[in-house]
Amino acid sequence: MRIRTTILLSLLMVVISPLLAQKIKPNVVLILTDDQGWGDLSLHGNTLLETPHLDQLAKDGTRFNNFYVSPLCAPSRASILTGRYHLKTGVVSVSKSLEIMDGDETTLAELFKANGYQTGIFGKWHNGQHYPNHPNNQGFDEFLGFCAGHLSNYFDTVLERNGKSVKTKGFITDVLTDGALQFIASNKSKQFFCYIPYNAPHSPHQVPDNYFNKHKTKGLDNELSSIYGMVENIDDNVGRILNFLKQNNLDENTIVIFLTDNGPNGIRYNGNMKGIKGSVHEGGVRVPFFIKWKNQIPAGKIIQIPAAHIDIYPTLIELCHLNPISAKPIDGVSLATMIWGDNETPEFDRKLFTHVNFIHVPAMPNSGGFRSNQYRFVYEKSKPQLYDVTKDPTQEKDIANQNIELTNQLSKEYLNWFSQSSEELIYERQIVLTANGAELPVYEASLSAGIKFKEGHGWAHDWVKEWSSTKDSLSWEIDCQLAGQYDVEIFYQCEKSEVGSTIEVQLGNEKRNVIVKDAFYSKQVPSPDRIVRKEAYEMGTWKSLPVGTFAIQEGRHILKMKAINIKNTNVAEVKGLELKFNYK
């Protein structure tokens, strides 16, 4: 009799849960990690690390075992935030302004805000740092974190809070969690959407000693010890969030989602899948996805049907009973039917497309592809590949040549998707100038070939190291939305032997010349990296070199900087320019 009653109650919950949810508008905590692969969880068979809180989150909620994102950071974030394929949002890659999401896209924050929620983001944005692409301009009431693709230092670092720099104390993942918990505490009597996009375990490889040493004692190298240490620190912080929700009686009215933004940032355990970060194969785009809502979403349920980042937006609309506000078509579908259904609905057999582009324009169809219920289709170097992942999950056997007609059909479908998704891409992005002024970092400039970056790629935080010819120049496109007088200054460093070069700054028809008169060279900020980093290191301070005041009219302009004469062999090392509105 007791068994029958238990079964009956379980069946009733399947039927009643959606009905109960119709009366509830839950809070949402969306947790995203950076460069953590599918295999970076003990739940997924990794015996070299321990992630008990994330494992329990998966067990307490519903787990999507075949969940897909984009191969790189910024594209995944754009799709998560909008429910649209990243190419349609204007996001192409991860730097050189190719990471900027169109300002007219509707984000999850704008959606929740329009439905009466308080909105906060704590972590890495990576979809634009200027107005109108900044998180505070994209629906977030509260922002603590950074806008670029990576950060130089993870300890006692400088972050941004709502447009202002703040010096923090401690390890960054702990700091971001503190900020998120303060936001939740301040809004626990209201409805809130809390987005926590951690930047770990992205490089540089920095982690507190206790997490690092734990893995070194296992015989792992410095890189793996750092990454697994960062993952375990994330796990502890996820535990803090879950405990805080429970202690404040919020867990029954809060949806918690966890996922990562792409495959692992290196070769390590990843379930024997092919590919890592940057790859369009399974290992580059398949990630964990857990969703928990106590007493509403089934606990322990595992769904095998493929789903993707574009589905989060429409799923939250349905689960939270939000009024949609976007005029643009959503590419994803709501997963509520799968979550609440008693079987895996067959109509969800669709193609989940992907594409990767590095720092080159225009975007080309190589490399890309899609995942369906049965196949992983890959298009690389104009050569299609086809894998039946139901029989060959590790992609050992390319069956394209054995299925030529099918492969040709799938190639056409992918190329058609790419063409439609990329047809409105704009590669030249203007920096909007308002009364708040604007920073013009050199990594957002167009550079002539002779100028060299310190690190080389021109990623975020890099600076011009070599500038040795009067033929070379840097230029930025500006969209001035408030006519007026603007003061311009250059931020530089140079050795005593380099003092004396003359720099010309031209904006529209106005030109100003300024001489580098003072030597100034700061020390590198100490960086507790466990291995040598790929990114540029952080310099302590940069000297300001005032150029003069420019009268700038509304509209688009080119700001160009070049050397009139070079005293020795190098003009200076340059971080960028800043324009400030002159109120005098």
Q: Which residues 6+ apart lie within 8 Å of 472 measured at CB? A: 447, 448, 449, 450, 451, 562, 563
73 is catalytic: yes
Mean pLDDT of the chain: 93
**What are the strands of the beta sheet with 368-371, ordered from one edge?**
352-355, 368-371, 375-380, 383-388
Long-range contacts of residues 399-408, Cβ cutoff 8 Å, at least 24 apart = 407/377
End-to-end CA distance of the chain: 84
Beta strands in 363-422 (DSSP E): 368-371, 375-380, 383-388
Given a cut of 70, is residue 196 above it in pLDDT? yes
Given a cut of 50, is residue 7 above it in pLDDT? no
Residue tagged 């100028």 (tokens)? 451
- The residue from 44, 53, 126, 355 that is catalytic is 126
pLDDT per position as a tens digit, 459-509: 899 999 999 999 999 999 999 999 999 999 999 999 999 999 999 999 988
pLDDT per position as a tens digit, 125-146: 999 999 999 999 999 999 999 9
12 pLDDT band (50/70/90 cuts)?
Answer: very low
pLDDT per position as a tens digit, 497-512: 999 999 999 998 899 9
What is the reported pLDDT for 377?
Answer: 98
Q: Distances in Å between the alpha carbon of 532 and those of 155, 201, 522?
A: 17, 15, 21
Question: Any idea of the CA torsion for 185, 187, 192, 196, to the nearest 10 degrees?
Answer: -40
Tell me which of 20 and 288 has the higher pLDDT: 288
Distance CA 395, CA 414 (A): 19
Distance CA 101, CA 65 (A): 29
Given a cut of 60, is residue 191 above it in pLDDT? yes
Given a cut of 90, is residue 3 above it in pLDDT? no
Residue tagged 């918990």 (tokens)? 181
As separate numbers, helices (DSSP H) first and strands (DSSP E) second, the chain gives 11, 29
What proportions of the chain, in percent to the nearest 5, are helix, strand and coil?
Answer: 25, 25, 45
Given a cut of 70, is residue 380 above it in pLDDT? yes
Given a cut of 60, is residue 220 above it in pLDDT? yes
Average pLDDT rounded to a whole number, residues 365-385: 95
Distance CA 152, CA 147 (A): 12
Upstream peptide bond of 95 is cis (omega within 30 degrees of 0): no
- The residue from 44, 53, 73, 480 that is catalytic is 73
Domains of the chain and any CATH numbers: 2-346 (3.40.720.10), 355-422 (3.30.1120.10), 431-581 (2.60.120.260)
Contact 488, 574 (CB under 8 A): no
What is the reported pLDDT for 345?
Answer: 63
